[in-house]
């Protein structure tokens, strides 16, 4: 195995592979895709080395944080694509839609104990850590968790970075070697593996497993005990939809990324964050599509330009470099925090200067104070904020610039900064299709000073934390059409 891959593998226990097992099990929990997926690649390689079948179990649990019809539907769209993609290969794919949490233990036990080893996805969140611990307790099988989250393996840096500047400098010194170690695009293609036992012989269908012949989408969403008050969004999930959006982005929007990312009517942002969050596409997919479009090779890198500045290292124009800065620096600093800091999602993890200045202003007069249901129902005095909140509730997304304003305003309208933080986490992770991600926390915590510096003059409530106003936003952006699209037509009633 490529020694570079060692940086991506976490041995979850000290057990060795059981060579007399029936198959290699890849438990697909976060990298929900058949391509550009290190976990799948390693599972395929293990199956080849052991000359065993490869069984892929993609799980959709009932009790992930904020489980709702919206998130379920997005994942189910992806399962449908995956079922189709794997049908053509020699691996066996099982899309498991959980209907009863009580059956989980038996399912995992049954599948894992017949395996030579289990390969799964490393993702920095409590739910996944708990599930891996559970699997460890239930079986005596070797478990490998593989990090396929970003271009830089999360285990490589030794510390948590506190500014984008310092992380970028680190990347400019260290990223080049990881640009040479991408996953194989289609790890299953051309591989002839022994046939896995069929799903019915494992007795799994009774537990809500769907084999390659039935339609996953027929899983009756309405009957599942999840939050149906957050209904499916109109945006389709899945790899096929994600790749279409990527294609359109690279063909038409990338060339205006720097100048129009903040534009509301002609926004050049990619819209890919939900697909990244659910693992339907990877940053390797996006990086490759972008770099192929602009004809980049590693020889273009300006190795000597280790300045920590946003532009000038890749040897590309401003649009592409600005995009890569979001995709790599900003996205991966969030994973760095989630991996390195136990309390990355807690108020205490804010920088000391930010906590101090917010505490100094805790007793400042708040002209507008809202209850959580007023925020949730977009019933504030601020029409820009209300429109952004309505977009979030209805569509599961929000324009990036407005998202910053949205967060800053909740700080202004809550009784304390801790309360504001809790409210933002609640609203973002309940409704946003890209929510419940390390970058949910970096985005929200940025509103309170994370990765930022102190600003002057000192303001009421915010202190030295960067301040934003709806008035300035209205001056900067053309909002008329957006406001009319998301104006209050009927109460949201959430
Ligand atoms: C209050 C608040 C909450 C946020 N919550 C989330 C969240 O739940 N999930 C999430 O993925 N991002 C979150 N962000 C960051 C950012 O708003 C989104 O990543 C971005 O708007 C996604 O749109 P896009 O895919 O069109 O981005 P593009 O501009 O096309 O960027 C490409 C990719 O780069 C990454 N990226 C872009 N901007 C940022 C950023 N500021 N921080 C981290 N990564 C970034 C994303 O993965 C994105 O898909 C939040 C920001 C704020 C201010």
What residue ranges define each of the domains in the chain, with the CATH number in brackets?
Answer: 1-148 (3.40.50.620), 239-340 (1.25.40.80), 347-485 (1.10.579.10)
Q: Which of 468, 458, 470 lies closest to 354, judged by CA?
A: 458
Contact 237, 403 (CB under 8 A): no
Q: Look at residue 202 and tell me whether its pLDDT is greater than 80.
A: no
Residue 260 sits at the vertex; the CA angle it makes with 259 and 263, to the nearest 5 degrees, is 135
Q: Is the ipTM of this complex over 0.90?
A: yes
DSSP letter string, 19-67: TTSSEEEEEESS---SSS-HHHHHHHHHHHHHT--EEEEEEE-S-STT-
pLDDT of residue 209: 60
CA-to-CA distance for 171 and 213, rounded, in angstroms? 45
Higher pLDDT, 425 or 83: 425
pLDDT of residue 360: 98
Using DSSP's 3-state secondary structure scheme, residue 359 falls into helix
| Percent of the chain at pLDDT exceeding 90 | 82
Residue where the block lists tokens 């699209």: 485
The reply to whether ligand 1 has any atom less than 6 angstroms from the CB of 447 is yes
Mean pLDDT of the chain: 93
CA-to-CA distance for 138 and 113, rounded, in angstroms? 9
For the ranges 167-171, 183-187, 270-274, which has the lowest average pLDDT?
183-187
Residue whose CA is at the smallest distance from ligand 1 atom 24: 271
pLDDT of residue 488: 77
Which atom, in ligand 1's list, is nearest to the CA of 249?
30
Burial 22-45 (b: 16+ CB within 10 A, else e): bbbbbbbbbbbbbbbbbbbbbbbb
CA-to-CA distance for 113 and 135, rounded, in angstroms? 10
Residue whose CA is at the smallest distance from ligand 1 atom 18: 400
Higher pLDDT, 458 or 492: 458
Average of per-residue pLDDT across 368-395: 97
Residue whose CA is at the smallest distance from ligand 1 atom 48: 273
pLDDT of residue 106: 87
Which H helix or E strand runs over 472? Answer: helix 470-476
Q: Which of 200, 197, 194 lies closest to 44, judged by CA?
A: 194
Q: Look at residue 208 and tell me whether its pLDDT is greater than 70.
A: no
CA-to-CA distance for 144 and 122, rounded, in angstroms? 9
The reply to whether ligand 1 has any atom less than 6 angstroms from the CB of 429 is no
Confidence of residue 189 (pLDDT cuts 50, 70, 90): confident
Average of per-residue pLDDT across 21-45: 97
């Amino acid at each position: 195995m490529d020694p570079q891959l060692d940086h991506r593998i976490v041995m979850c226990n000290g057990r060795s592979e059981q060579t007399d097992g029936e198959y290699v099990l890849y438990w697909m929990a976060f990298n929900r895709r058949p391509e550009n997926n290190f976990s799948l690649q390693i599972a395929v390689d293990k199956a080849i080395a052991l000359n065993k079948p490869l069984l892929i179990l993609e799980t959709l649990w009932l009790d992930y944080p904020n489980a709702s019809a919206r998130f379920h539907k997005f994942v189910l769209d992806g399962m449908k694509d995956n079922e189709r993609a794997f049908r053509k290969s020699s691996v066996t794919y099982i899309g498991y839609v959980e209907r009863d949490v009580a059956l989980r233990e038996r399912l995992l036990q049954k599948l894992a104990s017949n395996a030579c080893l289990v390969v799964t996805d490393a993702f920095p969140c409590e739910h996944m850590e708990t599930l891996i611990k559970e699997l460890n307790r239930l079986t005596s099988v070797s478990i490998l968790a593989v990090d396929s989250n970003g271009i830089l393996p999360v285990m490589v840096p030794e510390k948590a970075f506190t500014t984008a500047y310092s992380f970028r400098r680190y990347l400019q010194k260290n990223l080049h070697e990881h640009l040479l170690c991408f996953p194989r695009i289609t790890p299953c293609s051309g591989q002839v593996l022994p046939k896995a036992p069929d799903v019915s012989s494992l007795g799994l269908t009774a537990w809500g497993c769907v084999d390659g012949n039935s339609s996953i989408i027929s899983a009756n969403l309405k009957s599942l005990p999840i939050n149906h008050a957050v209904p499916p969004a109109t945006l389709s999930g899945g790899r096929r939809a994600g790749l279409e959006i990527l294609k359109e982005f690279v063909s038409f929007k990338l060339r205006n990324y720097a100048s129009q990312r903040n534009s509301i009517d002609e926004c050049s942002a990619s819209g890919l964050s939900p697909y990244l969050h659910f693992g339907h596409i990877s940053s390797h997919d996006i990086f490759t599509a972008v770099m192929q479009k602009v004809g980049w090779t590693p020889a273009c890198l300006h190795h000597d330009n280790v300045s920590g500045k946003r532009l000038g290292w890749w040897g590309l124009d401003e649009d592409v470099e600005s995009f890569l800065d979001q995709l790599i620096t900003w996205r991966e600093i969030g994973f760095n925090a989630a991996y390195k800091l136990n309390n990355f999602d807690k108020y205490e993890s804010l920088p000391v200067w930010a906590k101090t200045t917010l505490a100094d202003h805790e007793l400042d007069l708040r002209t507008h104070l809202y209850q959580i249901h007023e925020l949730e129902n977009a019933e504030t005095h601020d029409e820009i904020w209300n429109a952004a909140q309505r977009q979030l509730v209805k569509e599961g997304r929000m324009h990036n610039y407005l998202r910053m304003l949205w967060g800053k305003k909740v700080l202004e309208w809550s009784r304390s900064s801790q309360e504001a933080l809790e409210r933002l986490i609640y609203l973002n992770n309940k409704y946003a299709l890209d929510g419940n991600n390390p970058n949910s926390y970096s985005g929200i915590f940025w509103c309170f000073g994370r990765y930022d510096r102190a600003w002057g003059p000192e303001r009421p409530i915010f202190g030295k934390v960067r301040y934003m106003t709806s008035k300035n936003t209205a001056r900067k952006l053309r909002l008329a059409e957006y406001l009319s699209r998301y104006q209050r037509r009927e109460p949201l009633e959430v």
